[in-house]
Amino acid sequence: MKISMQNGLPVVEVPVSFQGQDVLIPNILLDSGCSVTIFDTDVVRPINLTVDPTQGRVRYMYGVGGRSEICYERLMDELSIFDRKVCSMTIQLGSTLMEYGYNGIIGVDFMQKLGMILDFSTMTIRFEERPLS
Amino acid sequence: MTWNEIKQKYVDKWLLIEAITTRTENGRRHLEQMSVIREFSESSSAFNMYKQLHQEQPIRELYVFHTSREELEVVEQSFIGVRGLR
């Protein structure tokens, strides 16, 4: 997996599979300063990954200058990302494209779960081969 | 309106709502009074309008909810945001 630098930040293309449907999402930010992983609601809609109407917490995030935004948590029984299956992970769905210019953000939760190795000398992502907990 | 009143009036709908009065307790945000901006049958249309309004007026506290939700579970979190070179 190739990392490209855009505006001084690492960006990748991420294959995501959900319930037998696949989508390749470009323009995803790798952010080791972000604890959670979020996708824009528009980019995962093609694989029917949407906000659950009946449940899931909503996060009201407030920041500098009185700006706030909301995102929706969804517990995933099973999701495949970078062709690796993860179970029982919570992802967030929200507005990242208009807000930040990215289709999503891979945060520390998935980096850790997937055993991701970000290699800035070769500008690639590798994965720890040992079985992950 | 309160969520209970909204739920009864709009059945099986996605709503774009604006929080009018809120209260925060132990990191949980309670939406006490809300106004309904518009109702939708599809979540995608509701989120599209949310994104557009939020972009234009980021200070407004907007939410998208489906009226099949019994309660609104909103947690509050401070957020620094993405800091690129733009």
SS3 track for chain B: CCHHHHHHHCCCCEEEEEEEEEEEECCEEEEEEEEEEEEECCHHHHHHHHHHHHHHCCCCCEEEEECCCCCCCEEEEECCCCCCCC
Q: Which of these, A103, A75, A69, lies nearest to B78 by C-alpha position?
A: A69
Report CB contact under 8 Å: A57, B76. Answer: no
Condensed to tens digits (0 to 9), the pLDDT of residues B1-22 reads 999 999 999 999 999 999 999 9
A35 Cβ under 8 Å from any chain B Cβ: no
A34 and A107 in contact (C-beta within 8 Å)?
yes
What's A34's DSSP letter? -
ipTM score of complex? 0.86
A12 and A4 in contact (C-beta within 8 Å)?
yes
pLDDT band at A123 (very low <50, low <70, confident <90, very high): very high
pLDDT band at B77 (very low <50, low <70, confident <90, very high): confident
Can you tell me the distance from the alpha carbon of B42 to that of B40, in angstroms, rounded to the nearest whole number? 6
Predicted TM-score of the model (pTM): 0.90
pLDDT at B78 > cutoff 80: no
Q: What is the pLDDT of chain A when averaged over all its residues?
A: 91
Query: Percentage of chain A surpassing pLDDT 70?
Result: 93
Three-state DSSP class for residue A43: helix
Contacts A–B by Cβ distance under 8 A: 92
List CB contacts (< 8 A) between B23 and chain A: none
Query: Which of A8, A59, A69 shows the shortest C-beta gap to B75?
Result: A59
pLDDT band at B36 (very low <50, low <70, confident <90, very high): very high
A62 Cβ under 8 Å from any chain B Cβ: yes
Condensed to tens digits (0 to 9), the pLDDT of residues A54-107 reads 989 999 987 666 677 899 999 999 999 999 999 999 999 999 998 889 999 999
Q: What is the pLDDT of chain B when averaged over all its residues?
A: 91
A120 Cβ under 8 Å from any chain B Cβ: no
pLDDT of residue B83: 57
pLDDT of residue B86: 45
pLDDT of residue A64: 62
pLDDT band at B80 (very low <50, low <70, confident <90, very high): low
pLDDT band at B81 (very low <50, low <70, confident <90, very high): low
Report CB contact under 8 Å: B75, A57. Answer: yes
Q: How far is B84 from chain A (nearest CA, A)?
A: 6
A68 Cβ under 8 Å from any chain B Cβ: yes
Can you tell me the distance from the alpha carbon of A104 to that of A47, in angstroms, rounded to the nearest whole number? 15
